Structure 1
């Protein structure tokens, strides 16, 4: 993992309906993520905020996709800024914002890799399209977009499909829409549900995930949605789902990724301070970043 790192914030909440997640990056910064990573020896550059677009007055809104134009415009800006970080030879760490920011980040990362792999740590699989989404919220669509499915305004960011279905590992899933279940089965996507984690243990799950992606991918991106954790440990998220991964299990997962030395980019998303308890979720995010980047007890 590169010691030269640039941290970028994307204060966007357009991909979902509950306000507040746009303040997530500020909460994570307040939780001391810069100081934590600098103490681990990283040379941190603050990339500031990506400018978030707004829907223009009078613009025709696609019925199935909320705030489509603004999400597409912001995703393009994310793609450009993250690409610049890669070109500078630095590790990109992106703070969200809702999970639709991955449309831009994955477009940037895929352009740098021959075969990009993704660990999607999330209660949801985010494989909806406008045809299958019950809500029209784009934060439930970024993985589908990266695979080339969805509105052309989103899939055209970057060049072509960004991912292959066989290069995705989803960890912690427990809330899938019917269309997403069909998508997973049709494309044979590797999904570790909470049943798998409970039955087989996080250590086994992460060992398999690491070996699976190491054998086929030259770069691996981590996309961690804080709602992957149980709401008891991460209450400040917009779409909490009970029965999630524990705080300790999540640290183990991050520690194993650190030991594997395979993560080439990362993002932490969906912290919502309005719904949080004394910044508990933002502090959990910062602590998990510490484990991902090498923090140890001894």
Structure 2
């Protein structure tokens, strides 16, 4: 297993030490001198090499784990799998829906849109640049998503995106074929994982999330893993919670 390390929150370069990567795995670090321009151009420039690294790993028989500071890097992960000839569905663990659009968002935060982009929203923003083909909605399983904005709830009520709780997840709910296992670690209850950028109370335990992720991994169908380390940079982790989570999810 190879770690593809993308130390960014969107187009903001983050300190490497904010990501306590486990020892014992080869690491490919992706950093870029990002061009001037809007956020989509900058992210496209960053995710093109992410896609190449993912494709290279898959073509050599490896299962890459992409570690970054947000969820949008999943666009590069999925594009890389497609470049390698892998037509994957996705299992998306997140406290949020990540199905906002530019037309519905009140914050303008593009990190709240990647799942919607994966299923075909406005490909001219970034998908066309990455060669990313849209994923059929029914090949996406959204796990938890306990904090939805009204436009997200309205979209999910009529879309074919499937949903379930962390503890309810079993193999029968998974999309068919190869899978991307995407985990935004803010799916874990905010009381157990401090200093998150967008904490949401009332979530599952870390143990419950790890057990559910293991059920997905145990199918043998996971082609790539995405880990979104969505905590603020520069915050201490005296109990080693972050390091323990990354170690458990990169085995």
TM-score (norm 1): 0.75
Matched, 1:232 2:204: no
Q: Deviation per CA, 1:255-283, whole angstroms, max 9, x where unpaired?
A: 32243222221011134343453264422
SS across alignment from 2:19: helix
The aligned counterpart of 2:210 is 251
The aligned counterpart of 1:283 is 243
SS across alignment from 2:26: strand
- The CA distance in 1 between the partners of 2:82 and 2:195, in whole Å, is 30
Q: Which has the larger displacement, 281-290 or 113-122?
A: 281-290
Matched, 1:54 2:14: no
Bigger proportion of residues as helix: 1
Aligned length: 250
CA contact (8 A) 1:254 1:288 kept: no
The aligned counterpart of 1:34 is 23
> Superposition RMSD on alpha carbons, in Å?
2.4
| 1:180–1:237 distance in 2 versus 1, CA, 3 Å | same
Matched, 1:45 2:26: yes
Tell me the CA shift for residue 234 of structure 1: 1.3
Tell me the CA shift for residue 84 of structure 1: 1.5
Q: Deviation per CA, 1:224-281, whole angstroms, max 9, x where unpaired?
A: 0110001122113211111111112112213322432222210111343434532644
The aligned counterpart of 2:8 is 12
Matched, 1:97 2:69: yes
CA contact (8 A) 1:7 1:93 kept: yes
TM-score (norm 2): 0.88
CA contact (8 A) 1:13 1:97 kept: yes
SS across alignment from 1:223: strand
- The CA distance in 1 between the partners of 2:68 and 2:151, in whole Å, is 26
| 1:252–1:241 distance in 2 versus 1, CA, 3 Å | same
Question: Between Structure 1 and Structure 2, whose CA radius of gyration is higher?
Answer: 1
The aligned counterpart of 1:139 is 111
Unpaired segments of 5 or more residues in structure 2? none
SS across alignment from 1:156: helix
Tell me the CA shift for residue 93 of structure 1: 0.8
The aligned counterpart of 1:40 is none
The aligned counterpart of 1:296 is none
